[in-house]
Amino acid sequence: MFLAGAVALNVTVVPDDRRFYWTPLVIGLAYLAAAAAGGRRGGHWATACVLVGWGAAVVLAGAARPDLDIAGLYMAGSGLGAVVGLLLRRAGVDVDPLGLAVAITAGGLILTFAAQAPGVLEEARTYVGLLALVAVANLALAARDWGAEQRAGSP
């Protein structure tokens, strides 16, 4: 799912810098697909919720250009994502509250330092690479877990 998200980001956002505002939502949807693939007990739910909420707010700000404080809009989007995550947790989905807080903090830090590193943090290619790295790391972890299961099942 993460590799598909990296490809989607590379195809839809990278060719046109004016589409950069789609980046958090595309990444959030990749996380949501990975979370859904893992089921109720799978990982990635917290990150998916926050990134989809924040990403939706960023798309609204980028596309509609509302007469609103953009920082407040982003904060509200992240917060709504966290609310959805906590509601999912109440419904039996394994959403980690600490994961919600870490995802919000990471997004805030990226926004905080983006102006100091515009060639890196305001570049879609950076997030294509990071998402691809997450894909490789998740594949490595899955292979490790599969190998451990195979060894445990052997006589």
> Can you give the residue range of the structural domain that contains 21?
2-153
What confidence score (pLDDT) does residue 118 get? 85
Question: Which among 132, 138, 130, 136 has a CA at the least distance from the CA of 107?
Answer: 130
Positive/negative CA dihedral, 137, 119, 8, 19: positive
What are the per-10-residue average pLDDT scores of the chain (155 residues)? 96 95 97 96 95 97 93 96 98 97 96 91 95 95 88 72
∠31-5-101 over CA atoms, to 5°?
Answer: 30
The pLDDT score that the predictor gives to residue 147 is 86
Residue 43 per-residue DSSP state = S
pLDDT reported for residue 155: 56
pTM score, whole prediction: 0.91
Q: How many domains does the chain have?
A: 1
